[in-house]
């Protein structure tokens, strides 16, 4: 639909299609269509619950980057809460808007496992993850301890998930390395926080006395 002068009104119609749960549109090319900020935001709203569209081309339209960047940022990674981040759009892989800076999220979305994408975004934008819910399973801590492998496995997915099809260039590679380091540090910090909340269950071997009765109490 390039060069068709659909304008903002046309974007509202397209947004309605994107909101339809039966929508099966994977690519939209509407560059050079006299679309402004209002039309771009309509499309963002239409994509809030869409998990099908992968490419959106809005180049050569009078869209103000300073006004459109934040809505697209929130669409791809709403950092208001962990739940909002989890419910963000993890499908959109390519957005063509002049000088729009959301490249890192689009790269993350190229990972086929969307739960891994959500984990990476959560770890990037939430430095203090509440581990307390894991301690409500059992008053004696039995299920809390059993939860540890699941907690570690959840965070381990953050390392498994990798951005696909990296763009060439030192800046892109360097940015991804910084992102991985940030995710790794936060994952380890959260696991440590979980373990620290029950110190009596994590006693270093050299602190355990040989006395069998004492050892039973520690275990």
What band does 183 get if pLDDT is binned at 50, 70 and 90? low
Residues 90 and 8 in one domain: yes
Could you tell me the sign of the dihedral formed by the alpha carbons of 102, 103, 104, 108, in that order? positive
Residues 117 and 152 in one domain: yes
More confident residue, 70 or 184: 70
- What are the angstrom distances between the C-alpha of 41 and each of 9, 64, 69? 12, 11, 10
Residues 143 and 219 in one domain: yes
- What is the DSSP-derived secondary structure letter of residue 183? H
Token duo for residue 103: 């490249």
Among 26-35, 127-136, 151-160, 188-197, top mean pLDDT goes to 26-35
- Region 89-94: mean pLDDT is 96
The beta strand positions in the chain, using DSSP E, are: 27-29, 55-57, 94-96
More confident residue, 114 or 128: 114
- What is the DSSP-derived secondary structure letter of residue 167? P
Q: How many domains does the chain have?
A: 2
Q: What are phi and psi of 160, to 5 degrees?
A: -65, -40
Q: Show which of 50, 84, 110 is a domain's final residue.
A: 110
Tell me the residue length of the chain. Answer: 219
Q: Are 193 and 131 in contact (CB under 8 A)?
A: yes
CATH number at residue 88: 3.80.10.10
């Amino acid at each position: 639909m390039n060069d068709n002068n659909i304008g903002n009104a046309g974007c509202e119609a397209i947004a309605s299609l994107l909101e339809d749960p039966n929508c099966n549109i994977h690519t939209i090319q509407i560059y050079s269509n006299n679309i402004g900020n209002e039309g771009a935001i309509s499309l963002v709203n239409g994509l809030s619950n869409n998990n099908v569209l992968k490419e959106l081309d809005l180049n050569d339209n009078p869209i103000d980057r300073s006004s459109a960047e934040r809505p697209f940022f929130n669409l791809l990674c709403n950092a208001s809460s962990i739940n909002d981040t989890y419910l963000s759009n993890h499908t959109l892989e390519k957005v063509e808007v002049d000088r729009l800076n959301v490249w890192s999220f689009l790269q993350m979305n190229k990972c086929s496992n969307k739960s891994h994408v959500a984990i990476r975004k959560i770890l990037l934008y939430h430095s203090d993850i509440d581990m307390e819910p894991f301690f409500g399973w059992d008053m004696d801590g039995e299920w809390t301890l059993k939860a540890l492998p699941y907690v570690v496995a959840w965070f381990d997915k953050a390392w498994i998930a990798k951005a696909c099809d990296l763009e060439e260039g030192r800046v892109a590679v360097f940015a991804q390395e910084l992102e991985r380091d940030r995710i790794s540090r936060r994952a380890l910090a959260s696991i440590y926080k979980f373990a620290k909340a029950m110190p009596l269950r994590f006693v270093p071997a050299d602190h355990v006395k040989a006395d069998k009765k004492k050892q039973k109490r520690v275990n």
